[in-house]
Amino acid sequence: MQPSTRTRRRRPDRGEHLGKPHGRLAPRVQAVGPEHFGIVAIDPAKARSYWLLADFYGRVLIPLTAVEHTRSGFDAAIDHLKRAIAEHDLRDTIVAIEQTGRYHRPVKRAFAAAGFDTRIVHPAISRHYRQAADYDTETDATDTEAGIFRAAINGFGLQEPPRDPTYAALQFWARHRRDLVREETLLRCQILEHVEACLPGYARCFNDIFEAQFAMLVPRHYASPAAVAAAGVEGLTRLARLGRARVQRPTLLRILGWARDAASADPDAELHRARAITLGDDRIHKRKQIHSCERDLAAQLVQTPYVRLLALPGLHVVTAGELAGEAGPMAHYATARVITGRAGLFPRRYQSDRVDLSSGRLARRGNRRLRQAPLQAADTLVRCNDHFGALAARWRAAGKDPREVHVRVAGRLARIAFRMVADGGYDHPACRGPEHALKKLTDFHVKRKIDEDMMRTNLERAAAFLSRAEPAPAAAAPREAAGGGPRCAAPAGSSPASGDVPPPARPGRGHGPKALSTILPELLKRPGGEAAKVLESAMSGETP
């Protein structure tokens, strides 16, 4: 038996052209001539933008002009541009807009709606060309003339991929949730400071003061340890009953033991208590908003093939949603290396003559939000996924830097995610198959107390994507023999001996996952409904 060999895809030939292939203008310029090819360079701002029109040689046809970000302002600028195009016989034109936060989007939408080919110039590229001409001068004129225009003619005006509403919503809810989590974390720190001022050392009575139901009731009603000690077990029990919080007697005794030996409270303890109550209400409201964002995030995730990533132990709904929102449709990436390249997950390199050094540090360029998503997923994979945990331990034992191990896991995740999302395969040691994804999604809905109708709909949509990648039982490859090499198929026409015992299935590899027809009924018994209808729609491969 010959072990199967893996062949790497050959990288596409870049040719002999210098510059960015996607922004290359040479064929279009050659078709119409440089004097008949127009470039509109736009430098956006909040309320207005500055733009000019020049041909490919740099001859200015419309000088620097301001346009207000209003409907009448855009209409006037577009009419002026169309008259200039007809007057100077421009047969082809592009509009190059510098990416400036969100302020460039109204300009882009206005010119795209008018039928112009709009391109986006990254501000780092325009700054590079602007500094080459005027290093110490940054004005609207130098940005537009020396920066944006030169970047466009050199092929750095790039087209944005078409907007997908589902992935746009995923990105919106993922980023909004992260902002809310950051705000809630800040509120927790502030609450702990105020609680420590009125009840010194009280927070150490609990593993997490915010997770215990009874923990935050005490600071709401008592401003000093003496008041807690005076209440006694009866007072604390009455407080728990009024607050409808479950608490055990050992916990009450532990609190009373702390109160009898606690330090004195701050002179302004009553003020700190009132402030802690206000911040606590704000934190509870933020927590409800986070749960709402997570529900919306799950509703969007099940409409994309990224739901297959839930088959990886260690990746949950929020992590998969963040990765899907930042990466976007997998059809935009030719290979997995494009994902890591866009995220900047590769080391810097310096080469000159015979000197070729790699600093080991990550590249400074790249999409930082996209970089953040796989790196955070790598943290949970190392802790919760046996395959990645063993890989990380082996790399650390080999003397690799922990930061390099972190990046390696993120890069490995990018390659696995590319195959799972694009091809739908679960054939990897780190993967457990679609049944694991469905169970994880069900637990997420139960824990967040999502209503049954929404839970049923999300499971139907997820099963539609998961069932498309489910291998047919008759076409499944035979398992490898007990002493054979990895993935060795039996010869054609052979049959196992009568005394042979097939090797036990490896649950972590994801080979031959259970049919969804055996998984969905069990999951849908909990929401209580219509398993036959769900299975019919799920197994048909149609997304409801």
The beta strand positions in 73-138, using DSSP E, are: 92-98, 117-121
3-state secondary structure string, 161-182? CCCCHHHHHHHHHHHHHHHHHH
CB 200 within 8 A of CB 265: yes
How many Å from the N-terminal Cα to the C-terminal Cα in the chain?
A: 46
What distance in Å separates the CA atoms of residue 513 and residue 91, rounded to the nearest whole number? 58
| Residues 111 and 78 sit within 8 Å (Cβ to Cβ) | yes
- Which of 324-363 are b and which e, b meaning 16 or more Cβ less than 10 Å from the residue's Cβ? bbbbbbbeebeebbebbbbbbbeeeeeeeeeeeeeeeebe
- For the domain spanning 168-296, the CATH number is 1.10.287
Looking at 3.30.1370.140, 3.50.50.60, 3.30.420.140, 1.20.120.160, the CATH number of the domain 23-153 comes to 3.30.420.140
Whether the Cβ atoms of residue 53 and residue 40 lie closer than 8 Å to each other: yes
- CA distance readout (Å), 256 to 103, 180, 210, 214: 58, 35, 19, 14
**Global pTM exceeds 0.85:** no
At residue 301's C-alpha, the angle toward residues 297 and 303, to 5°, is: 130
Q: Burial of 176 by CB count in 10 Å (0-12 exposed, 13-18 middle, 19+ buried)?
A: middle
Question: Backbone dihedral region of 343: left (phi > 0), alpha (psi from -120 to 50 degrees) or beta?
Answer: alpha
| CB distance 118 to 41 below 8 Å | no
Torsion 381-382-384-385 (CA) sign: positive
- The ranges assigned to domains in the chain are 23-153, 168-296, 304-348+358-431, 434-473+510-544
Which run of H or E residues covers position 41?
A: strand 37-44
Q: Distance (Å, rounded) from C-alpha 145 to C-alpha 42?
A: 9
DSSP states of 273-304 as a string? HHHHHHHHHHHHHHHHHHHHHHHHHHHHHTTS
**Amino acid identity at 405:** V
Q: What is the DSSP string of 109-146?
A: HHHHHTT-EEEEE-HHHHHHHHHHH-TT---HHHIIII
Helix (H, G, I), strand (E, B) or coil at 50: strand
Contact present, 65 and 77 (Cβ < 8 Å):
yes
Q: What is the pLDDT of residue 511?
A: 39
d(CA 29, CA 56) in angstroms, rounded, equals 8
How far apart CA 321 and CA 298 sit, in angstroms, is 7
Contact (CB, 8 A) for 156 and 150:
no
Other beta carbons within 10 Å of 533: 12
CA angle 476, 478, 483 (to 5 degrees): 155
- Cα distance between residue 420 and residue 432, in whole Å: 12
Residue 114 has which token pair?
A: 């008018």
The dihedral through the CA atoms of 209, 210, 213, 216 has a sign that is positive
Provide the residue-wise pLDDT of the chain in tens; the chain has 544 residues.
444 445 555 445 444 444 444 678 989 999 999 999 999 999 999 999 999 999 999 999 999 999 999 999 999 999 999 999 999 999 999 999 999 989 999 999 999 999 999 999 999 899 999 998 888 888 989 999 999 999 999 989 998 888 899 999 999 999 999 999 999 999 999 999 999 999 999 999 999 999 998 999 999 999 999 999 999 999 999 999 999 999 999 999 999 999 999 999 999 999 999 999 999 999 999 999 999 999 999 999 999 999 999 999 999 999 999 999 999 999 999 899 999 999 998 888 888 888 888 766 788 778 899 999 999 999 999 999 999 999 999 999 999 989 999 999 999 999 999 999 998 888 889 999 899 999 999 999 999 999 889 999 999 999 989 875 444 343 333 333 333 333 333 333 333 343 444 444 444 443 334 455 555 555 555 444 443 444 445 444 444 3
